[in-house]
Amino acid sequence: MAYTPAPPDPNAPPVRINLLSDTQTRPTPAMREAMARAAVGDEQTGDDPTVNALNERVAALLGKEAAVFLPSGTMCNVTATLATCRPGDEIIAHRTAHILSREGGAHAALGGFQITGLDGDDGQFSLDAFRAALHPRSRYEPPQTMVSVEQTANIGGGTIWPQATLDAIAAAGKEAGLATHMDGARLMNAAVATSIAAHEMAAGWDSAWIDFSKGLGAPVGASLAGSRAFIDEVWRWKQRLGGSMRQAGIIAAACHYALDHHVERLAEDHANARALAAGLAQIAGVDVQQPHTNLVFFRPDGAGVAGDAMVAELRQRGVLLAMMDGRIRACTHLDVSAAMIDETLALVREIVRKA
């Protein structure tokens, strides 16, 4: 996941409150039971009934013809660009996008693609900025073949793109002949926070995916959806990259369980994030971005504590979080309670008081 891990400290106390990432959730006992009961087959040959049912379920959820189960969200992004672009092609995204900064250069290393990072507040670029980045096809410039957005925008603060902007950028992209790709690592957070259905958010986008191993609380897995022809091509890349699996119904069962039980409850994570942000905002000198979903970005420097010092002090008190791109990111999730938020706020106040 996208964070700068704190240096391991053998003397640090055990972590009691884990705000590092929604990837840190542990499968619940009920989820583990669902996994143990899963009907399984050979996923690679299309014979795993639990995976097949998940593919149909996610295709319907995202309003697409087909879907494929992959080991990670990163592999969703990588197979999507590999299935769509050719070497030398240009992909347009926000400059903080996961595909640009957090996937080890996969799109350049494996596909030979270049990604243009657009500016814009909160991890989002405007329709005007997108239009300004488009250029006519010529032998001089790289062919522009894809535009990608993150819903929600992670480094942007877990922000939700307005539906009208999503629709307008997708339409402008199609008009210019680009494929449209939605990185939906936290799409279900956006859907729950707005009551706009995931398929509606993804409607203008040729490909879209959701991650089960973030706020949904499953241990492994992400599903990429699109047209049948696109998914056929993604399958080729999944095979090439070694992403085809065997009795993957064991992990797909956790994803079914997550869709059944862990979607609506994302609202609790959002309420906890709002409570954390509201409490931090009351501490003089702490600069906090108002959260849209489950990510809270803040800077304590104005209160006399540098960000990395705050991270280290909290770690000494059993709270784990990290700096991300110059700010502290706190992430609420399944294993974070309202009481833990209260305790974290009390500890931040104590650290600021002592400084």
Residues of this chain that bind ligand PLP (CB under 6 A): 1, 72-74, 77, 98, 150, 154, 183, 185, 211, 213, 222
Q: Residue 48 or 183: which CB sits closer to ligand PLP?
A: 183
CB under 8 A, 24+ apart: contacts of 31-37: 31/217, 31/218, 31/254, 31/257, 31/258, 31/261, 34/253, 34/254, 34/256, 34/257, 35/250, 35/251, 35/253, 35/254, 35/257, 37/253
Q: Which residue is nearest to ligand PLP (CB)?
A: 73
Which of 188/348 has CB closer to ligand PLP?
188
Whole-number minimum distance, CB 71 to ligand PLP, in Å? Answer: 8
Q: Min. distance of Cβ 72 from ligand PLP in angstroms?
A: 3
CB of 158 to ligand PLP, least distance (A): 9
- If the CB atoms of residues 172 and 224 are measured against ligand PLP, the closer one turns out to be 224
Minimum CB separation of residue 150 from ligand PLP in Å reads 4
Residue 186 vs 352, nearer CB to ligand PLP: 186
| Vertex 222 angle, CA 233 and 164, to 5° | 85
Return the number of the residue (157 or 300) whose C-beta is nearest ligand PLP: 157
CA 193, 197, 200, 202 dihedral sign is positive
For residue 153, the 8-state DSSP code is B
- Select from 99, 59, 65, 52 the least CA-distant residue to 198: 59
Distances (CA, A) of 305 to 281, 319, 324: 15, 16, 16
Nearest distance, CB of residue 188 and ligand PLP, angstroms = 12
Q: Coil, strand or helix: which one is 330?
A: strand
